DNA sequence: TTCAAAGTGTAGCGCAGGCTACATTTGGCT
DNA sequence: AGCCAAATGTAGCCTGCGCTACACTTTGAA
């Protein structure tokens, strides 16, 4: 019975975070695509995520409302300072998770896939443990 | 450019899995609540996940369509054999992830929370690495 | 037995992500 | 300049998860 109270906290957290994950994925992608040469367009993100340009468009609109990106019609997508900060944080975390998976013996391709899924659910504390372990080798 | 093809696979996968995660969480919860004495009711799941009974009701309906659970109006929720199998698999995977986090030095409470988020994104290969590491201590 | 509380079901709303189909703008090439 | 293809925008639909409000069963206690 009091099990429920104890359990509900983790679950509640997991559930809500979903739309945040997408925001993180997008700013990460915008950062990566932008630095990779030219600018980041809707079509780039559509290819990157394997979704239609419509989905990208609406999501970018949401991110703009949240102050993470900046766009004008038919113009490239840029990160705001806030978006840049988030992207940097995510990129760093992503790298830590990826390197950690490699460190425990996961093959690079699997590590790349799993890191994508895992990164959003790793708390700072756990991330610390990842760093500590990776650097121990 | 060919970067995109390489990248889109991991992302596509991550994205789709979301509704599957909830199915996994539900069968896991039903299994846990049911074995903990009496039967699993809508209200139990609502408390467990910290959501309204309406949300539980609809989700249980979906899971019934997918053949994971069985219910009749005003009756308890039971797992089908298929649901039981999934629940067992998830429980095992969950435990592995949790124990692994403890093994690398994460505190129990944080490990419980992070395990909830991480478990759905761990591939069999990575899970193997987790097992190997945990048993190495 | 009766009746109120707890549990469950249903209607209907919002948000977010997915899509196709169609309209519009850009941009490059002849 | 003109035109076509690619990129972008818009309309409208579906699914899934979240909710409140309200209706209906179950159930236990007076």
As given in the structure block, the two tokens for residue B22 are: 């909830």
Residues 38-67 of A with CB under 7 A from strand D: 41-44, 53-54, 57
- Judge whether A11 and A52 are in contact, CB under 8 Å: no
List the alpha helices (DSSP H) in B17-107: 18-35, 42-49, 53-65, 81-103
Q: Are B57 and A19 spatial neighbours (Cβ–Cβ below 8 Å)?
A: no
pLDDT digits (tens, 9 = 90+) for A48-105: 999 999 999 999 999 999 999 999 999 999 999 999 999 999 999 999 999 999 999 9
Distance A1 CA to D30 C1' (A): 28
The distance of Cα A12 from the centroid of its chain, to the nearest Å, equals: 20
Residues in CB range of A23: below 8 A, 6 or more apart: A62, A63, A66, A68, A86
CA-to-CA distance for B68 and B80, rounded, in angstroms?
Answer: 5
Q: Could you say which of B15, B113, B129 has the minimum Cβ distance to residue A105?
A: B129
Q: What is the pTM of this model?
A: 0.89
Residue range B89-124, pLDDT digits in tens: 999 999 999 999 999 999 999 999 999 999 999 999
Handedness of CA A47, A50, A51, A52 (dihedral sign): positive
């Amino acid at each position: 019975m009091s099990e429920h109270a104890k359990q509900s906290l983790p679950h509640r957290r997991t559930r809500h975070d979903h739309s945040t994950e997408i925001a993180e994925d997008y700013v990460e992608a915008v950062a990566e695509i932008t630095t990779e040469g030219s600018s980041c367009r809707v079509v780039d993100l559509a290819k990157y995520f394997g979704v239609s340009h419509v989905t990208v468009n609406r999501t970018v609109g949401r991110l703009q409302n949240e102050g993470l990106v900046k766009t004008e019609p038919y113009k490239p997508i840029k990160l705001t300072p806030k978006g840049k900060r988030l992207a940097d944080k995510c990129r760093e975390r992503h790298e830590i998770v990826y390197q950690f998976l490699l460190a425990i013996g996961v093959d690079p391709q699997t590590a790349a896939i799993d890191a994508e899924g895992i990164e959003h659910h790793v708390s700072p504390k756990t991330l610390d443990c990842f760093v500590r372990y990776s650097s121990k080798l």
